[in-house]
Copies of this chain bind each other. A is one copy, B any other.
Amino acid sequence: MKMQHAVAKKANYVNGLDTDAAAATIAAIKADKSLAKFQFRAVNKWVSGGENRSTIRDFYGAGQDDTSRTVPFEFTNGEPPVLLGNNEGANPVEFLLHALAGCVTTTFVLHAMARGIHIQELSSELVGDIDLQGLLGLDDGVFPGYEQIRIRFKVKADCTDAELDDLLGYTQKQSPVCNTVCRPVPVVIERASA
């Protein structure tokens, strides 16, 4: 992963991604698989009611703690009035859609680059259905989470429709957030003393 810094004299960009840096990253991981191990982190603090705030900065990856972010990202969860809040922010299930949209998009763009496909335009619309009887504990037969999430994916690129469909199918399998949603991923919660 360090090699990307060594390349860069005259970078070739496809879809806004540096193809030499990407090739160097893949070569580095093939030589040492442990470089592919990442750990992402967030710290969250409750404010009041449905309002809480996350701070995101450091992560571990490519064999070291990342120090590229001098200022942390901050995001506020909130709820709309109908869910007892004041729209202090988007709500957590909406942030999940943002995460999913972004991950599918970036995964598509990355593997398009790997296939030499140049993307001109790309957008997506997501809808997710949820029955709040689950959250509220009113019906044990209702899942608290999303029943289903649908993505309408629009893309314009220099390839055939068949190639786009193939790439989109591959994207769906390889996207980390999509895979986290589609597959059961263990969440371990441990209570620490306050």
Contacts and interface: CB of A to CB of B under 8 A. Distances in A.
Identical chains bound together, number: 2
Report, as a range, how many residues of chain A touch the other chain.
35 or more
A115 to B, nearest CB: 11
B80 A41 contact: no
Contacts of A25: 84
Interface string A52-66: 101010010110001
B187 A50 contact: no
A10 interface: no
A100 to B, nearest CB: 7
A126 interface: yes
B54 A146 contact: no
A156 to B, nearest CB: 4
Nearest to A102: B77
Interface in A102-122: 102-107, 109-111, 119, 121-122
A99 B95 CA distance: 5
A113 to B, nearest CB: 9
Contact of A185 (B50, B181, B190): B181
Interface in A88-106: 89-106
A191 to B, nearest CB: 5
User: What 3 pairs across the A-B complex have the smallest Cβ distances?
Assistant: A16-B49, A77-B102, A16-B48
